[in-house]
A and B are shown apart, each in its own frame.
Chain A
Amino acid sequence: MNTLLWVVLPYVVLAIFVFGHLWRYRYDQFGWTTRSSELYERRLLRIGSPLFHVGILFVLLGHVAGLVVPQRWTQWLGVSETGYHWAAIVLGTLAGVCTLGGLALLIYRRRTVGPVFMATTRNDKLMYLLLAVTLLLGLGTTVISNVLGEYDYRRTVSPWFRSIFLLHPEGDLMAGAPPTFHLHVLAAFALFAVWPFTRLVHMLTAPLGYLTRPYIVYRSRAGAPGDPARARPPAADARRGF
């Protein structure tokens, strides 16, 4: 059972996540969008959306620090155990509350603003459910494990997480963790499994290239999609920047 949950399942989810994205990127460029609803309503979105997105970026950073960075590295850097602990509690709770608050506002908006609700698909509803459950369990885990009873996940959960990517899975490490961690991780598995098939894919095309590309983009007609048959030498130096 433990092997199934903490060794087989992670790889299944990972495979769905990676190959699902690859498949959709090839198959469904047209559907790959944020599906913004800002045109309908802006007042609530202006508060809720940045709150949620900035919050979840910090949550992501927190997970990287907690799961990917081994305890030895932070010790080597001179970060004491209590210092790390407090930083995790304060920042993690803050980011979690921001994210959940933003999400609550966005879900409230989605339900109460007529046009936004009309534009909500079943796919969206499932995604919102999984996202909310994962986030709630995640915040709950932070609070319970750090505040009520101290549990050092960096000795069990984090090595298990890294062991998966090192292709030497140690499921027993995770099996010994408290049930709150189990629930959070299982909810996250479900979220990652549906991720490539929801609007969440927009995260993977965050437009960081904008920072370096020239402002004006020229394209030759031959390069335009839908025009593959029109062979013509592409215009040399077809971009301009200033």
Chain B
Amino acid sequence: MRVMTQLAMVMNLDKCIGCHTCSVTCKQVWTNRAGTEYVWFNNVETRPGQGYPRRYEDQDRWKGGWETDRRGRLRLRAGGRFKKLATIFANPLMPNIRDYYEPWTYDYDTLFTAPEQEHTPVARPRSLISGRPMKVEWSANWDDDLAGDPSPDPVLQSVSEQVKLEFEKTFMFFLPRICEHCLNPSCVASCPSGALYKRSEDGIVLVDQDRCRGWRMCVTGCPYKKVYFNHRTGKAEKCTFCFPRVEVGIPTICAETCVGRLRYIGPVLYDADRVAGAAAVPDERDLVEAQKSVLLDPEDPAVQEAARESGVRDDWLEACRRSPVHKLIFEYGVALPLHPEYRTMPMVWYIPPLSPVVDALGRTGHDGEDAGNLFGAIDALRIPVDYLAGLFTAGDPAPVREVLRKLAAMRSHMREVNLGRVPDPAVSASVGMTPPLIESMYRLLAIAEYGDRYVIPLADPDQGPGSEELNTGCGLDFAGGPGMDGPFGEASGRPRPVAVENFHALRHRQDTDELGEPPGRRPARRVNLLNWDGKGLPEGLFPPRSRSRDDS
């Protein structure tokens, strides 16, 4: 047994209102740079829907993740080592920029420079890739709130023969996605340079920007399409689980800013020696249980002993015992992994939403909080349950139904408590729980405090509590600052912290004169406030001071 620790996340989908705050704060922190305009380390998808990039779940097309061969051994779905090297000159399975979306800005300058005319001037969209005027036809959340036709959704297609949903049977929920920081990461296995790695202390999967040579195989390897290619630097980038933050014990920016407080972060223990075997179980529907079996019980004395032998510190062990993630997966049994059939052992877990069932029930005029009605609806509503099973259990409806029944029982039980009535113990017993267990689950899901939702042990034992977040940037790392211009174009030079790695590339994009500059006009600096990082004063942020004011 080789015990290792992993920081994992659980998201409670019932509480997600699809506000995209997580996406926006993540983008501001990590991908507001040139070359990553189209990149969303965190995105929120409306399901059913095509997702981002479009139809990324269609693994017959993209061939991400792992599969088992005829002899039951695990292999990369896109092909092994020799095939990777043979197709290295042109990766046939890499999504094009149009599969994500072509990022754009607006030609705001025409609003100021247009001559007096009959009609109001219009700021037309311009591509950030080619610089030309473009027609905006798709983006990262184009099918938000069931906009358009969700029928191209690969999960929906696998569930239902009759793909077009009848209006009365529509349902919808939001699915926030970040990198899964898998136990068996296929992106790491796909990297020819060995630049991607999994940190042994906290399981975070990172790209070594110095060793990445831009072969792009990780983009193909990840079935969730959560490794992105920075087209400016020519290197792969991905969600970092905000490692500078979690190392000092504060949650990721997406979790911190979540309006619904639906994210939970905590460490889990796992047996690294058993990962490969569990990922290779023959039947896809056994993968959820196999994945759970790799995780270890931190209360077990034998596990504690083995963990200490493997070098797990006591404060981490203690955090594992208090971990909300471990509780939601095992004690309450309501968290499920996203697409276990990819065999990567994803470590961002989800509590499937009961709301599609409640909504459908409400539309029929029945009481949506009555346990009997809810249990009946969970059994009767085939499409929402099968759809959730297609996302979280490789198509097996039984575990999804069990989780939904637990959530329904909690809902019904807590209504009785709130109305001052005595809850029927038969309701909790019917889902294998006791009233105190249901109430503690309710507390964690509904009203948990910050310290209960985020149990994040410090990376560095010598670091006292209350330490400031590490500053990832140097104060001189602004565009044009010392040492910011390498000799071989904008991407070269000494390594620098990932968050500020190429602001000089950004500067060129931001204040270039190429977009919509009328000929003959004195070149003016353009400042894109959306991309401004708050450091320094970009030229053109304020209009030039007039001479007369300077004199006075």
Contact = CB atoms under 8 A, between A and B. Distances in A.
A36 B234 contact: yes
A216 B497 contact: no
A53 B486 CA distance: 28
Contacts of A225: 208, 210, 495
A220 B184 contact: no
A221 B491 contact: no
Determine the main DSSP class of A at the interface with B: loop
Nearest to B128: A115
Given A118-B131, A217-B194, A242-B74, A40 B84 contact: no
Contacts of B212: 33
A230 B489 CA distance: 32
Contacts of B215: 34, 36, 207
Nearest to B196: A217
B438 to A, nearest CB: 39
B492 A205 contact: no
A230 B194 contact: no
A121 B489 contact: yes
Given A39-B97, A49-B90, A218-B197, A34 B213 contact: yes
Contacts of A215: 76, 188-189
A30 B210 contact: yes
A106 B223 CA distance: 30
Interface in A25-57: 27-42, 45-46, 49-50, 52-54
B493 interface: yes
A207 B492 contact: no
A221 to B, nearest CB: 5
A30 B231 contact: no
Contacts of B206: 224
Contact of B132 (A29, A53, A114, A235): A114
A76 interface: no
A71 to B, nearest CB: 34
Indicate the size class of the contact surface on chain A.
35 or more
A179 interface: no
A9 interface: no
Given A210-B193, A219-B199, A38 B233 contact: no
A78 interface: no
Contacts of A29: 210-211, 495
A41 B211 CA distance: 25
Q: Among A32, A39, A233, which residue has the most Cβ atoms of chain B within 10 A?
A: A39
B185 interface: yes
Contacts of B198: 216-219
B139 interface: no
A220 B197 CA distance: 9
